[in-house]
C-alpha cells in the first residue's frame, strides 16, 4: 500500500526547480568543484517531506553514489530569505527547492541558477518527460531547474453521489453540465467553492479550455481581464452560480470531510489532494478522479492545469557539479519510481511506476495524445496579479454578480504590473 502523507494546503503550493550535468550547458558562474559523487546538501521549504527525500538515499547511493543531507524549513518567508541571502555568500546550495513563474525568472535573469538544457534534452529523448512540461522551465530558449514533482488539477468526485443519481464520469462539457443539473435536481450541490486562497481554479479552467491562446495572453498582458472574451467566460461562471451549483463559499468545514459527507459531489483540486481525502477517511472506493472536459468541445486536445514543484542548483555553489549529477538521476524512471513509492501522487516521468492504480491510470491518460498541459494560474500569472485575482474571485464566489467590477480591479493591478516592466 502506498504511503502518502496528508499534504498541507499553503499559498506557496508546489514548486518547480532544476539543475544541469557537469560538463553540460551552463552559465558562466564560478561554481562547481568537479565532484559528482558524495553527500549533497539539499535545502527545501517542504520540511514535512524530509523523510521522503532522504528515503531515496539508498537508491541514489546505489545508482549514482550520491546521498542527500536535507535541511527543511517550515516557514516559507524565512526559507526564501535564506536562499536569496545564500547567493551572496560562498555557501549557495548545491540543490534547493524553489518556485516557478516570476520567482524563478528573477533567479535566471540574475544568473543565479545553473542551466539544465542538456538534462532536459536527454530526459525528453529518453521519454522521461513531456515537452509540454519543459515550457515552465524555459527562458530565452534554455532550460533551468528540473521538476521535483507535478500535480494535475483535476476533478475529484464522490462515487456514491454519482452512482445514486445514475451519473457516469463525464467526458464532454455537455455531459458535465448534465451531471451538475442532475445532482442539483436531486438536492446535491454539484461543486465545491471557497472565498479564500483556492479561488482561481475554476477561472483557469474556464479560460484555458475555452481558448488556450486567451489564457496565454493573460500571462503576458496581451489579453486584459476586462476584454469581452473574458467577461463572456466569467458570465458562464455567473450562470452556474445562479443555478445553485456551488457550495457555501464561507463554509468552515474541511472540504475533504465535506466531500465525504456528500455536502457537494465534486471538487477541482491538484492530484496531491488524494492524500487529504485519505486523511479524511475516504479511499478510492469512495472517490474518483477525472480530467475536467474542455468548455470548447472543438479543441483537439483537452487542456489540463499542471502545478510543478522544482529543485534547482545554484550557479555559484561549490556543489554545482554534484547537484547537476543528482538532477539528471532525479529525472530517470528509477528515481521517480522510488520517489513515488515514498511520496505518492502522479509522476512526471511516464515510465515511472506509480503505486496507486487510480493515479497511475489518470497520469497515463493525461500524458497521452488527448491532453495538453498549461501552467496553473498561481504560477503562470505575475505574483501581484495573482494576489488581487485570488481576492476578487473570492469576493465573486461570496457575492456573485456582474463580473465586470471584479475584473476591473484585477486589470488595474495587471496594468500597473505590466507598465513597470516596460
Closest CA to 377 of 369, 386, 368: 386
Residue 386 lies in a domain: no
Average pLDDT, the chain: 91
- How many helices (H) and strands (E) the chain has is answered by 19, 10
Cβ atoms within 10 Å, residue 175: 15
Residue 187 lies in a domain: yes
What CATH number is associated with residue 69? 3.40.190.10
Per-residue pLDDT reduced to its tens digit, 93-114: 999 999 888 889 999 999 999 9
Question: 33-37, 198-202, 281-285, 390-394: which range is least confident on average?
Answer: 33-37
Residues 222 and 321 in one domain: no
At residue 31, the pLDDT reads 66
Average pLDDT over residues 201-213: 98
CB 320 within 8 A of CB 312: no
Mark which of 304, 326, 347 sits at the end of a domain: 304
At residue 380, the pLDDT reads 92
DSSP-derived 3-state class of residue 68 = strand
CB 146 within 8 A of CB 53: no
Per-residue pLDDT reduced to its tens digit, 272-318: 899 899 999 999 999 999 999 999 999 999 999 999 889 999 999 99
Residue 67 lies in a domain: yes
Banded model confidence at residue 12, pLDDT cuts 50, 70, 90: very low
Q: Determine which helix (DSSP H) or strand (DSSP E) holds 308, and give its type and residue range.
A: strand 302-312
The whole domain housing 80 covers 38-151+306-367
Banded model confidence at residue 76, pLDDT cuts 50, 70, 90: confident
Question: 20-29, 67-76, 107-116, 307-316: which range is least confident on average?
Answer: 20-29
Closest CA to 214 of 102, 374, 400: 374
Mark which of 279, 304, 329 sits at the end of a domain: 304
Closest CA to 358 of 344, 368, 374: 344
What DSSP string runs through 104-153?
HHHHHHTT-B-B-HHHHHHHHHTTSS-HHHHGGGEETTEEBSEEEEEEEE
What is the C-alpha separation between 252 and 175, in angstroms, rounded? Answer: 30
Average pLDDT over residues 224-231: 98
Residues 293 and 318 in one domain: no
Mark which of 327, 342, 367 sits at the end of a domain: 367
More confident residue, 3 or 228: 228
Q: Is the model's pLDDT at 13 over the cut of 50?
A: no
Banded model confidence at residue 170, pLDDT cuts 50, 70, 90: very high
Cβ atoms within 10 Å, residue 306: 28
At residue 362, the pLDDT reads 93
Q: Structurally, how many domains does the chain consist of?
A: 2
Percent helix, percent strand, percent coil in the chain, to nearest 5: 45, 15, 40
Residues 97 and 55 in one domain: yes
Q: Determine which helix (DSSP H) or strand (DSSP E) holds 44, and give its type and residue range.
A: strand 38-44
Amino acid at each position: 500500500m502506498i504511503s502518502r502523507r496528508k499534504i498541507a494546503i499553503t499559498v506557496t503550493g508546489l514548486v518547480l526547480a532544476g539543475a544541469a550535468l557537469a560538463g553540460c550547458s551552463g552559465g558562466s558562474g564560478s561554481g562547481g568543484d568537479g565532484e559528482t559523487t558524495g553527500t549533497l546538501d539539499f535545502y527545501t521549504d517542504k520540511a514535512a517531506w524530509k523523510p521522503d527525500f532522504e528515503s531515496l538515499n539508498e537508491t541514489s547511493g546505489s545508482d549514482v553514489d550520491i546521498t542527500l543531507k536535507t535541511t527543511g524549513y517550515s516557514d516559507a518567508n524565512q526559507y526564501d530569505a535564506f536562499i536569496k541571502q545564500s547567493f551572496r555568500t560562498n555557501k549557495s546550495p548545491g540543490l534547493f527547492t524553489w518556485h516557478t513563474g516570476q520567482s524563478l525568472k528573477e533567479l535566471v535573469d540574475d544568473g543565479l541558477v545553473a542551466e539544465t538544457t542538456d538534462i532536459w534534452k536527454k530526459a525528453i529523448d529518453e521519454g522521461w518527460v513531456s515537452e509540454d512540461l519543459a515550457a515552465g522551465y524555459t527562458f530565452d530558449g534554455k532550460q533551468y531547474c528540473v521538476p521535483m514533482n507535478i500535480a494535475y488539477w483535476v476533478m475529484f468526485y464522490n462515487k456514491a453521489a454519482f452512482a445514486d443519481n445514475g451519473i457516469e464520469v463525464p467526458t464532454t462539457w455537455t455531459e458535465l453540465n448534465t451531471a451538475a443539473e442532475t445532482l442539483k435536481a436531486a438536492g446535491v450541490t454539484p461543486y465545491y467553492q471557497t472565498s479564500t486562497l483556492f479561488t482561481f481554479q475554476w477561472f483557469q479552467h474556464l479560460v484555458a479550455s475555452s481558448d488556450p491562446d486567451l489564457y496565454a495572453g493573460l500571462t503576458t498582458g496581451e489579453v486584459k481581464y476586462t476584454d469581452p472574451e473574458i467577461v463572456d467566460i466569467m458570465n458562464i461562471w455567473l450562470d452556474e452560480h445562479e443555478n445553485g451549483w456551488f457550495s457555501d463559499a464561507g463554509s468552515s468545514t474541511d472540504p475533504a470531510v465535506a466531500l465525504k459527507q456528500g455536502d457537494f459531489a465534486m471538487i477541482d483540486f491538484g492530484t496531491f489532494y488524494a492524500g487529504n481525502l485519505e486523511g479524511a477517511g475516504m479511499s478510492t472506493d469512495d472517490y474518483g478522479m477525472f480530467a475536467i472536459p474542455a468548455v470548447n468541445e472543438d479543441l483537439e486536445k483537452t487542456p489540463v492545469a499542471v502545478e510543478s514543484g522544482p529543485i534547482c542548483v545554484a550557479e555559484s555553489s561549490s556543489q554545482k557539479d554534484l547537484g547537476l549529477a543528482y538532477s539528471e538521476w532525479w529525472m530517470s524512471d528509477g528515481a521517480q519510481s522510488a520517489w513515488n513509492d515514498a511520496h505518492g501522487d502522479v509522476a512526471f516521468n511516464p515510465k515511472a511506476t506509480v503505486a496507486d492504480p487510480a493515479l497511475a491510470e489518470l497520469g497515463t491518460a493525461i500524458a497521452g495524445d488527448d491532453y495538453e498541459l498549461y501552467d496553473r494560474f498561481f504560477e503562470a500569472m505575475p505574483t501581484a496579479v495573482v494576489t488581487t485575482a485570488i481576492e476578487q474571485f473570492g469576493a465573486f464566489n461570496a457575492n456573485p454578480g456582474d463580473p465586470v467590477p471584479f475584473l476591473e480591479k484585477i486589470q488595474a493591478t495587471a496594468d500597473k504590473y505590466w507598465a513597470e516592466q516596460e
